[in-house]
Structure 1
């Protein structure tokens, strides 16, 4: 007779798989804090939070990560032609977007997918929305996905979810240690910063020991966290985007998660992240009269514009 793994064990395995260089450390922390993992009934809104004794989420929120992550991954096919034109020629980004005659249908389809994902927040169950036909339904079977694009999106969604769970785990640690920052917004930024450092600080030794190319491993982790930033942006209520007693300004959270990576100029992190941020700016009808000579510079300017 086989025993199904508990929800707590499933989440532990996800975190160990996402950050394998710290697998033993994660298991030790898991045992030390003894917190529960509570899968709540799905309902309207988003459920992912923590206190001193447990991390709590619902399956609809996991579906939200999946659907928005797979949708946002497609931003690169929508905006990369204009991004290349802008950074190569010095043309303002908004002009480059207007020159791209094929962007319209791609952008329409992209927005339809993102709207489907965002509609999950307002319903009771995942079954209450129309799932986009070109996005696979959630599955733990990566190898069963149809193509390499879906497998790449799967990997980044898993990293994004791991980041979010590590963020919540830091809340558990703060509650248990009674040493949280003095305000909730400060605690949110501190949890973001801790999760980012936890997922990246041991990479060099891990890559060296296992024969991996460090910049590629670092790039993939950073891309997963950029995707997490977009998902967290979508989860944050619009009224809280500028900050309040509970949340820091969303631009501060995005900056804490995305900025400052010492990745090579040719890393795929930069164009993907630029396209994700362009999509956010277009969604909010922000001006994009930006001139940048590289993808990295474009990311830096876009982050600054979001403030």
Structure 2
């Protein structure tokens, strides 16, 4: 199924200030993006077309809502630990019944994300009741659910932008000889597309530039969390065709230059902490570093194959 115009609409909603540039670069013809019925996560550029599966789109969606559940789980204990100069101790936090409930809520959503990949189809998959189902004409009234939807759209725009850059390399015949370097170039290009003109766009619309950039960065982080969750841990370190997952995440964190909103780094930390815990990363009790920015980087450094 040709879904090129749906992706155009996605770009128009997320990066309207870059839409003309994208049209000139990528065109407006049909068959630029095809939705394929394959029983796995598929998102790739091949022969001038971005190929994507329904499973992939739904897994990105579920990652976004799992990421927000992570924020609900860890924002408060992280903030309280910082205020009271207490250590980061997720086992001690979990001993509190209300925290255990929030941990369970996150774990359940994360596990649904993995389950969908295992089943490879929406048939036979029970969609989680606390997550809006993506469908045409969807109306979301809950502010947090709507905010998460916006972040999922930003994640989607980023991953499609990444694939667009692959397509431009192919079209120009200028692909780097090294596959890992090509991935880096596509990551950097997509990040640039999302962020470089965000400040001017925000100013023209009377919004705080730091808020616009921060929200787009959270969307991109959700895209990277999808990669983290779906990549076998044995492949987290550099492979023949992809950079290490932690370095790809660090590239996004590096783009979060000051000023950022007060809520930004504790939100990022909450997401990284929950995903790392559920993926089996050992996070032993430790003093909190001077900032949540530092803690985000510390957790990111733990995202290795061993």
TM-score by length of 2: 0.90
Q: 1:12 to 1:158 in 2, by over 3 A?
A: same
- Return the alpha-carbon distance in structure 2 between the equivalents of residues 33 and 199 of structure 1: 23
Displacement of 1:297 after TM fit?
2.2
Task: From the superposition, tell whether residues 32 and 126 of structure 1 become closer, same or farther in structure 2 (CA, over 3 Å).
Answer: closer
* TM-aligned CA deviation for residue 165 of structure 1: 0.4
RMSD across aligned positions (CA): 2.2
Distance (whole Å) between structure 2 residues aligned to residue 140 and residue 294 of structure 1 = 42
Structure 1 outlier segments of 4+, above 6 Å: 32-35
Q: Give the distance between the partners of 1:99 and 1:106, measured in 2 at CA.
A: 9
1:293 corresponds to: 290
Instruction: Give the aligned partner of residue 124 of structure 1.
Output: 120
Paired position in structure 2 for 1:39: 35
- Say whether the 8 Å CA contact 1:90–1:292 is kept in structure 2: no
Cα displacement string for residues 33-72 of structure 1 (whole angstroms, at most 9, x for unaligned residues):
98621211131x2110003411000112111111221122
Contact residue 60 and residue 125 of structure 1 kept, 8 A: yes
Distance in 2 of aligned mates of 1:117 and 1:57 = 17
Q: Do structure 1's residue 277 and structure 2's residue 272 form an aligned pair?
A: yes
Decide whether the 8 Å contact of 1:170 with 1:191 is kept in 2.
yes
Question: What is the 5 A alignment of 1:22-37?
Answer: 22-31=18-27, 36-37=32-33
Q: In structure 2, which of residues 256, 262, 265 is the aligned counterpart of residue 261 of structure 1? A: 256
- Report the alpha carbon displacement of residue 99 of structure 1 after superposing the two structures with TM: 7.3
| Per-residue Cα deviation, 1:198-222 (whole angstroms, up to 9, x for no partner) | 1000112112222222111111111
Aligned match for 2:196, one of 193, 201, 214: 201
Aligned to 1:190: 185
1:12 aligns with 2:20: no
State how 1:1-307 maps to structure 2 within 5 Å: 7-31=3-27, 36-43=32-39, 45-94=40-89, 97-98=92-93, 101=96, 102-141=98-137, 144-264=139-259, 266-283=261-278, 284-288=280-284, 289-307=286-304
How many residues are paired up?
301
Distance 1:292 1:163 in 2: 30
CA pair 224-263 structure 1, distance change in 2 beyond 3 A: farther
Q: TM-score, normalised by structure 1?
A: 0.90
> Runs of 5+ in structure 1 lacking a partner?
none
Unmatched runs of 5 consecutive residues or more in structure 2: none
Alignment partners' CA distance in 2, 1:95 and 1:55:
41
| Mapped partners of 1:9, 1:32: distance in 2 | 8
1:140 positional shift:
4.5
Greater Cα shift, 296-305 or 223-232: 296-305
**Between 66-75 and 254-263, the greater mean CA deviation after superposition:** 254-263
